[in-house]
Homo-oligomer: A and B are copies of this chain.
Amino acid sequence: MKDIASSADLWPIGAMTNAFDVTARTLRFYEAEELLHPVRRGTARLYSARDRARLKLILRGKRFGFSLAEIRELLDLYDLGDGQATQLAATREHAVEKLAAMERQRAELDDAIADLRSQIGEIEKLLRNKTAPAPATLEPDGSSR
């Protein structure tokens, strides 16, 4: 019998470092932190498509400032356990909370973006009529919104 199953899309650590531009050391570190769970063939690590998907999420999470702890929590939400209803319900709760937090974060980011946009507008205004005195920036108490 051909042994197709054993090479079923499992990547060794070197392939991972090439594909994702992380060091092997870091992959082992993530494993120690329980973010990844490659299977072993003997002592060598083999990463499945699922591991690769998880790594992708990890790296994305890092890019916008989530800590590894937060990322682990997120990943756990994606790992539906054995499907016990109560367990699932708890996971759903947790996910909904996390979602709300992320949406708040996006709202703040939107505010910051809007502020920066209007600041660019101010700069361009100054550039157009290069004579006006135009002192103020940052309104005293831009306040609520």
Instruction: Say which residue of B109, B117, B127 sits within 8 Å of A64 (CB atoms).
Output: B109
Interface on A for B, CB 8 Å cutoff?
A: 9, 49-50, 52-54, 56-57, 60-61, 63-66, 74, 77-80, 83, 85, 88-89, 91-92, 95-96, 98-99, 102-103, 105-106, 108-113, 115-117, 119-120, 122-124, 126-127, 130, 134, 137-142
Q: What residue of chain B has the Cβ atom nearest to residue A67's Cβ?
A: B65
Distance in angstroms between the alpha carbons of A95 and B98 in the assembled complex: 31
Judge whether A116 and B99 touch: CB under 8 Å. yes
* Closest-CB distance, A112 to chain B (whole angstroms): 6
* Closest-CB distance, A115 to chain B (whole angstroms): 8
Distance in angstroms between the alpha carbons of A45 and B137 in the assembled complex: 21
Judge whether A117 and B99 touch: CB under 8 Å. yes
Instruction: Say which residue of B56, B77, B108, B127 sits within 8 Å of A63 (CB atoms).
Output: B108
